[in-house]
Amino acid sequence: MKLAVVGGGSTYTPELVAGLARERERLDLTELVLQDVDSERREVVGGLAGRMLAAAGYDGAHSVTDDLDRAVEDAAFVLIQLRVGGQAARLSDETIPLACGCIGQETTGAGGLGKALRTLPVVLGIASRVRELAGEDAWIVDFTNPVGIVVRGLLDAGHRAVGLCNVAIGLQRFIAHLLGVDPARVAVDQVGLNHLTWVRAVRVDGVDVLPELLAEHGDTLADHVELPRDLLERLGAIPSYYLHYFYFHDAVLEEQRRGTLRAAEVAEIERELLELYRDPTLTTKPALLERRGGAYYSEAATQLVAALATGSGDVQVVDVRNERTITGLAGDDVVELPAAIESSGPRPLPQAPLAPELLGLVQHVAAYERLAARAAVTGDRELVSKALLAHPLIGQVPQVDELTERLLVEGRAYLPQFEATGTLA
Amino acid sequence: MKLAVVGGGSTYTPELVAGLARERERLDLTELVLQDVDSERREVVGGLAGRMLAAAGYDGAHSVTDDLDRAVEDAAFVLIQLRVGGQAARLSDETIPLACGCIGQETTGAGGLGKALRTLPVVLGIASRVRELAGEDAWIVDFTNPVGIVVRGLLDAGHRAVGLCNVAIGLQRFIAHLLGVDPARVAVDQVGLNHLTWVRAVRVDGVDVLPELLAEHGDTLADHVELPRDLLERLGAIPSYYLHYFYFHDAVLEEQRRGTLRAAEVAEIERELLELYRDPTLTTKPALLERRGGAYYSEAATQLVAALATGSGDVQVVDVRNERTITGLAGDDVVELPAAIESSGPRPLPQAPLAPELLGLVQHVAAYERLAARAAVTGDRELVSKALLAHPLIGQVPQVDELTERLLVEGRAYLPQFEATGTLA
Amino acid sequence: MKLAVVGGGSTYTPELVAGLARERERLDLTELVLQDVDSERREVVGGLAGRMLAAAGYDGAHSVTDDLDRAVEDAAFVLIQLRVGGQAARLSDETIPLACGCIGQETTGAGGLGKALRTLPVVLGIASRVRELAGEDAWIVDFTNPVGIVVRGLLDAGHRAVGLCNVAIGLQRFIAHLLGVDPARVAVDQVGLNHLTWVRAVRVDGVDVLPELLAEHGDTLADHVELPRDLLERLGAIPSYYLHYFYFHDAVLEEQRRGTLRAAEVAEIERELLELYRDPTLTTKPALLERRGGAYYSEAATQLVAALATGSGDVQVVDVRNERTITGLAGDDVVELPAAIESSGPRPLPQAPLAPELLGLVQHVAAYERLAARAAVTGDRELVSKALLAHPLIGQVPQVDELTERLLVEGRAYLPQFEATGTLA
Amino acid sequence: MKLAVVGGGSTYTPELVAGLARERERLDLTELVLQDVDSERREVVGGLAGRMLAAAGYDGAHSVTDDLDRAVEDAAFVLIQLRVGGQAARLSDETIPLACGCIGQETTGAGGLGKALRTLPVVLGIASRVRELAGEDAWIVDFTNPVGIVVRGLLDAGHRAVGLCNVAIGLQRFIAHLLGVDPARVAVDQVGLNHLTWVRAVRVDGVDVLPELLAEHGDTLADHVELPRDLLERLGAIPSYYLHYFYFHDAVLEEQRRGTLRAAEVAEIERELLELYRDPTLTTKPALLERRGGAYYSEAATQLVAALATGSGDVQVVDVRNERTITGLAGDDVVELPAAIESSGPRPLPQAPLAPELLGLVQHVAAYERLAARAAVTGDRELVSKALLAHPLIGQVPQVDELTERLLVEGRAYLPQFEATGTLA
């Protein structure tokens, strides 16, 4: 089985390679290709990956390339984890919103829209090559943010895709650790949209222990998601960390206005990571990688690939079409929730209706995501404005007008679709 | 046919009486009762109403009373237009949110919730008396704000109720005037929730002229709803004035923080109106009444009563259950849209799906209204918090906590249901 | 000895009358005239004053009049305590700055300037009548705010005037009470400008006990002036309550933006006071008067008049020319500090240099007061702008421009001097 | 004549070397030593300086060293232009205030205090070596910011020092260019404190042309100092660019809160400059240097050294003791104004009194500078708090407390004097 990683020069890759090497038997992995457009990263990250695979005793094929076609040809799985425009673009996703009086975050709010506009066309282009060179049965696993919008775009275009995020597995591992039980026994019923989810039940061996968990470890869990404990208790659910941007919007904005940005931090960590990766004696992922974000992405991706390959029916939290799972959302909305992973793809598990205090916000953001995906594909400036107007954290005309202008003009280097429609003339 | 007006001492009443007197034949009006708990208003407004009816040649029964049972007994229609707590309560609906860093408005946002908590139980109590004394066939027409939540509560309790707001008729008359045509020829396709509506088509003799209307009178219409013209053009719709609180939230908040409140203004106008009404020679509504808000309420109410009474099938914009009219809302959500008014009640006209940039916001507010109605009925403090968390203009934990406390404690004089649950102990 | 009170219909007057009645022997008071332009206040306050004097056994002359000339003719002392424009003008002193993004306070900042512009010309007009009708030896005691600017204007015009404020005596009494000693034994070394003072020593029988006082009663004193205890300790001084507007400017502004204004409160208290004063059985000042502000004004004024009349040399805190008392201020600046009250007038006691952390702020505000007094006298719009630019709480061009326009235009009814210069055309 | 430059590895140095090379005859320059603690800068900047001197035909001694003693020994002039902590410290001068809700600027406000605390002890240490090794007649010319506070500290310690800033010469050259006349014919009467100055007259051949200049070139001048034209006209003076931080404080703060910082920009320019300087074929200062700030510093320094050396009596704007020049300031305040440069040192030219709208602000900042210099020398935490309280742009207790803590703790690496007093324990 051949597996290709697009954006394989990411600093995340050692994490992923560690997982693939560990599970290579179960996956029947025979070829691994890391594709990246950045030659330095190919050399540094590819070099480390090779050393890691060798150290793990992997004897299949392994290559590093900048040639997308060669990478995806005949692949059974294509993992996409790229970042159009690199950390510089991320910085603009954070600074442009802030300059317009909005929070600057790379997946939530206007920054997420900027990223979606840049990213979706590139991912769709890759998916087309996959379809042509690897066939309609090849699976695309998208880890590229904003996952919800990117997967929506992939599915709208008819691709065989599933979205993946490490938020659910991160919380699952954290809770297993808290409870002192094997993670395999713990399941989190996380539901919502990507980066807009709540865990409404935590099952250990199938039994919901969330009330006890909140009673005993409420403070720890609350710290983990940076929200107050009594909010978790009142909702009867654990919101994802990203809800922080909604439930404490003004405080986050004020903090951002006074200070430093995550992008600057990440760029610095990436520089250090690449420096570490160059060390020819390094054959394991360095500890610093944990501060990069993306923890457990490796496990999640490896499990997902294995489950799809074997049709195991394992339950995993993934991003898929809603169909009729969540009442009040449209069938073609892309939701994030537990699904049984079968050979034919993920099958969402049934969900009780969302409480109104969750549903209204989810519906609002889903409407935004619909417009965002359309805007990214069409290069229609009006849809950019409408997406911003539809976002619950923006929604105001002065901000919408200023953001539309700046996102398109300052991001133009990566927005050929808007160039084509004359929007940036 | 007997018609009772609960809250009949309102300064709006002369407007209503003018309409009823004009249409008394078509309505077959034989008895009009104005009920109010305020003796001064009964005397002043009731006195003027009597003079107006006499001047109009009305020869049916007419009385003024503080006795609710006597008023509603055997009534075919009961119009409810009361204000629990009077203008002082309105002032608190405006000042408490502002003191918590939120916009202060009596129907939108936290102020609207404060009003709903106070008002819904009172209206439900009245409705119970109506059911008992006037029978199940009597119609309740609710003009009491927040109309969407109040009507939701009435319908949830099984009452025969319909909600009414003057926004739609106001715009329809304004447009008829702009076009220089008879209002009877103009229909506005207004859709959404009460005070959260957009006009997506304006028909003259059945033909949609909205595009031409925006092209020729865009500036005038934009001024009318206090929003920028290009927003109307981009949405292809005319938002209600209340969308201002969403589309220009920060600007409105800043203006409120620097200045005066509508409640103070209205209290002053009311004082002046009552002074004018005392004039024993006055037999028509004074011009100042137009500045009170509520213009054309008389026409709307009179038309609605006439249509229900005669089963005319006339199309009017009213507040009713959604059933399956707007895709993406629940069947029991209360929506505001055109309906054919038949003897059996309003029958919503079919509606094209809402564009995502409208739908997401509508869904979000509908979730809030569901929680607000429940909170008002149950006296459950947690539901107050959840309603605030579910509102797109609030939704943040610090504001939610402070507002919950202050709305309940400062409003306690009118919140016996929370007193009963021990919330205010 | 004849004493005239201009603005004698003030709700403060009963406080003053109580003091004069008590000390009538020492003062050798033979005639008291209360002058006021407001007939209702003359009747109500004058009535109460008459009853109080009678109850106290005063057998001198007593009259109430609207005739300024009659009031001041041959008076030995004229106390001025008027409010041009009444509480409505005070409300505009609070709301106009707030509408321009500045704190709204009637003596500090832009509101104080608005009051100065209205007030100084009126006081100067009265002073001219005093000079003509009572002669150059008559004393003018000014209690009219902003005292610093008004007294500066009076002295610039050559009048025999001294300013008086109740802040110092209020603190002195408070401290005496804390220490449980007779107030006559306590002296506060308060120094600075009116409403911008610090108490640098508190002497009991001539010995400075401030360090011990802060150690034992620091929290109570800090609460009294609404500032944190450790600030008092670090400064080694007790700032006046008005320093709150400087040391906690943003917090005060935010509080004002969220809430209610002092003017509205005071207007309400005044209404209640006048109601109480009407009671024909009332012969003493009601307790509510204490909430009006102005406590101990009566004592201060009575003492000052007695000391000037007798040349006792008593030390009192008053507003006088700096001469060379405070290093770093100009000789003609008007300062507030302890002075020996002699027949020829107050003689400031020597002062150690102000610490830089006090001096810089005092110099800055003194420059503002110089410009404010000039602006009020000349009706020169440019000087209004310069005064605002020179104020440490304003000092920014956008605020200066907006405030200049609004203070002059909205206050025009009481600004004939600007009308005359064509500024308001 | 030997001239030493402390901080000679500054990217400014090529500008200075260009001037010294040009004027080497007049200066009778026989030895130039560039001292710097940074080896890379010594190599790169020193290398370029050597090439420039050679290209200019300079045949005196020239050396580059890290040895302070060797550098200053027997020097007639020591120019100090260092930056303690480099651009990283500058970044903290900008970010710490911003994180506390204040503007972040390296010379004005809290950032300037941070810089003063770090810098003054280092400069005083250097000055002691100068006194010992070069004698009491050697001149120290300080270009190190904050110049006003550093020079105050130097003079307080008895050193023979004069401060220099390029603001005055920059404006003079700009105006000469505007008028199309030789700069030698233009004199600017700039007065105030360092970075808090106003030009009250512009003389061409001794005749004041400021009114005509404002009339004809008002917009250009206003743009140059980033202030509105009508402000210049109303003040009858041209404020320095740094007044922007006072006159438009809130707007600057808002801009900073939304955006990028000057330090990041300067660090980038410095990186590019050093890259350019490495070019072995480069023998002139590159154009990019103009964007670094510091334009004409070379001319100003060269002229000042020449005038002091020859006792020419030339008039230059420098930073010196006030003595009795500006009324209302203390004799030991350090002011920035035109002085005749004689062998014995600068002799300030007489100055008309400052208008109140200038004086109050100047006095306020002078009080701050007095406290800032004392705090830097003593390591007394209380004086840091008092300096912040005394600054007109800070002055509020919450900000003072937070800034004191953060400036000292985050800057501790360069604040041994506070370490010594136990403040940072």
Alpha helical stretches, state H, B182-296? 210-225, 229-235, 244-247, 249-258, 262-277
Nearest CA in chain D to C389: D357
Mean pLDDT (whole number) for C200-216: 97
| Cβ contact, residue pair B95, C257, below 8 Å | no
Q: Which residues of D224-239 are buried (b: 16+ CB within 10 A; e: fewer)?
A: bbebbeebbebbebbb
How far apart are the C-alpha atoms of D240 and C294, rounded to whole Å? 45
Whole-number Å distance between alpha carbons of B171 and B221: 9
Q: Per-residue pLDDT for C406 more than 80? A: yes
H helix intervals, D5-38: 13-22, 24-27
Which pLDDT score, from 0 to 100, does residue D22 have? 87
B99 touches chain C (CB under 8 A): yes
C touches A (3+ CB pairs < 8 Å)? no
Report pLDDT for D352.
Answer: 97
Which has the closest alpha carbon to C198: C234, C164, C163? C234
| Residues of chain D neighbouring A98 (CB-CB closer than 8 A) | 258-259
pLDDT, tens only, C98-143: 999 999 999 999 999 999 999 999 999 999 999 999 999 999 999 9
Chain A residues 20-39 with CB within 8 Å of chain B: none
C242 is catalytic: yes
Q: Which of D19, D71, D11, D35 is nearest to D296 (CA)?
A: D19
Across the interface, do C248 and D396 touch by the CB < 8 Å criterion?
yes
Q: What average pLDDT does range D204-223 have in this prediction?
A: 96
Q: What's the confidence (pLDDT) of residue A285?
A: 77
> Residue A384: its chain B contacts at CB < 8 A?
none
Q: Does B258 touch chain C (CB under 8 A)?
A: yes
Verify whether the Cβ–Cβ distance C382 to D234 is below 8 Å: yes
Looking at the partner chain, which of A98, A101, A258 has a beta carbon nearest the beta carbon of D98? A258
- Residue A336 in 3-state DSSP? strand
Q: Do B328 and A363 touch (CB under 8 A)?
A: yes
Active-site option among A12, A58, A241, A242: A242
ipTM for the predicted complex comes to 0.94
Cβ <8 Å between C95 and B260: yes
Mean pLDDT of D192-213: 97
Which residue's entry shows tokens 């074997």?
A310
pLDDT of residue C286: 76
Alpha-helix runs per DSSP H in D379-410: 381-390, 397-410
CA triple C6-C9-C14, angle to 5 deg: 105
pLDDT of residue B263: 62
pLDDT at residue number C18: 86
Nearest-neighbour CA in chain D from A224: distance (Å):
24
**pLDDT tops 90 at residue C4:** yes
Do the chains contact at C257 and B259, CB–CB below 8 Å?
no
Q: Are the C-beta atoms of residues D36 and D66 closer than 8 Å to each other?
A: yes
Mutate to test the interface with C, among D156, D329, D363, D380 (most CBs of C within 10 A): D363
Q: Parallel, antiparallel, or unpaired for β D31-35 and D2-6? A: parallel
Min distance B356 CA to chain A CA atoms (Å): 5
pLDDT surpassing 80 at residue C273? no
In this complex, is the C-beta atom of C260 within 8 Å of any C-beta atom belonging to chain B? yes
For the four alpha carbons of D324, D325, D328 and D333, in that order, the dihedral sign comes to negative
DSSP state at residue B399:
H
- Among the partner-chain residues A100, A101, A258, the one whose CB lies closest to the CB of D99 is A258
Contacts of C186 (CB under 8 A, 6+ apart): C172, C175, C176, C179, C202, C203, C204
Residue A265 pLDDT: 67
> Which CATH number describes the domain made up of A2-163?
3.40.50.720
Terminal alpha carbon distance of chain C: 47
Residues of chain A falling short of pLDDT 70: 260-268, 291-294, 425
Q: What share of chain D has pLDDT > 70, as a percent?
A: 97
- Element holding D416 (H helix, E strand): helix D416-420
Helices then strands, counting H and E runs in chain A, come out as 18, 13
Touch test B–A: 3 Cβ pairs or more under 8 Å: yes
Q: Measured between CB atoms, does D385 come within 8 Å of chain A?
A: no
Give dist(CA B209, CA B186) in Å, integer: 10
pLDDT band at C146 (very low <50, low <70, confident <90, very high): very high
Q: Which two tokens stand for residue B156?
A: 């949830």
3-state secondary structure D301-368: HHHHHHHHHHCCCCEEEEEEECCCCCCCCCCCCEEEEEEEEECCEEEECCCCCCCHHHHHHHHHHHHH
Dist. CA C355–CA C357, nearest whole Å: 6
Contacts of C260 in chain B (CB under 8 A): 95
Which parts of chain B sit beneath pLDDT 70? 260-268, 291-294, 425
> Tens digit of pLDDT for each residue in D11-40?
889 888 988 988 888 889 999 999 999 998
Catalytic residue among B12, B242, B277, B368: B242
Asked whether the beta carbons of C44 and C277 are under 8 A apart, the reply is yes
Write a three-state SS string for A179-239: HCCCHHHEEEEEEEECCEEEEEEEEECCEECHHHHHHHHHHHHHHHCCCCHHHHHHHCCEE
Residues of chain B positioned with their CB less than 8 A from the CB of A232 = none
| Site from D152, D397, D399, D402 to mutate, C interface, most C CB atoms within 10 angstroms | D397
- Quote the CA–CA distance of C50 and C68 in Å, as a whole number: 19
Q: Is the CB of residue A149 less than 8 Å away from at least one CB of chain B?
A: no
**For residues B350 and B161, what is the distance between their CA atoms, to the nearest angstrom?**
21
Lowest-confidence pick of A289-303, B395-409, C73-87, D182-196: A289-303
On the 0-12 / 13-18 / 19+ scale of CB atoms within 10 A, D375 is: buried
Interface test with A, best of B226, B232, B363 (most A CBs within 10 A): B363
The residue among D257, D402, D403 with the most chain A CBs within 10 A of its CB, best to mutate, is D257
Per-residue pLDDT reduced to its tens digit, C347-398: 999 999 999 999 999 999 999 999 999 999 999 999 999 999 999 999 999 9
Contacting partners of chain B (3+ CB pairs under 8 A)? A, C
On the question of pLDDT at C262 being above 70, the answer is no
| Active-site entry in C12, C58, C241, C242 | C242
Contact assignment for D95 to A259 by CB distance below 8 Å: yes
Q: How many CB pairs under 8 A join A and D?
A: 19
Comparing alpha-carbon positions, the chain D residue that sits nearest to C233 is D382
Q: What is the pLDDT of residues D156-169, one digit of tens each?
A: 999 999 999 999 99
Please state whether the peptide bond connecting residue C146 to the residue before it is cis, i.e. omega within 30 degrees of 0: yes
State whether A260 and D95 contact (CB < 8 Å). Answer: yes
Cβ contact D96:D408 at 8 Å: no
pLDDT confidence of residue D51: 92
Residue in A with minimal Cα distance to B387 = A357
**Which residues of chain D lie closer than 8 angstroms to C247, CB-CB?**
389, 395-397
What is the rounded average pLDDT for all residues in chain C? 93
CA angle A28–A34–A38, rounded 5-degree value: 175
Does the distance separating the beta carbons of B359 and A392 come in below 8 Å? Answer: no
Pairing of strands D196-204, D207-208: antiparallel
pLDDT range class, residue C285, cuts 50, 70, 90: confident
- D331 pLDDT above the threshold of 90: yes
Lowest mean pLDDT among B381-385, C47-51, C288-292, C363-367: C288-292
What value does the mean pLDDT take over residues D181-194?
97
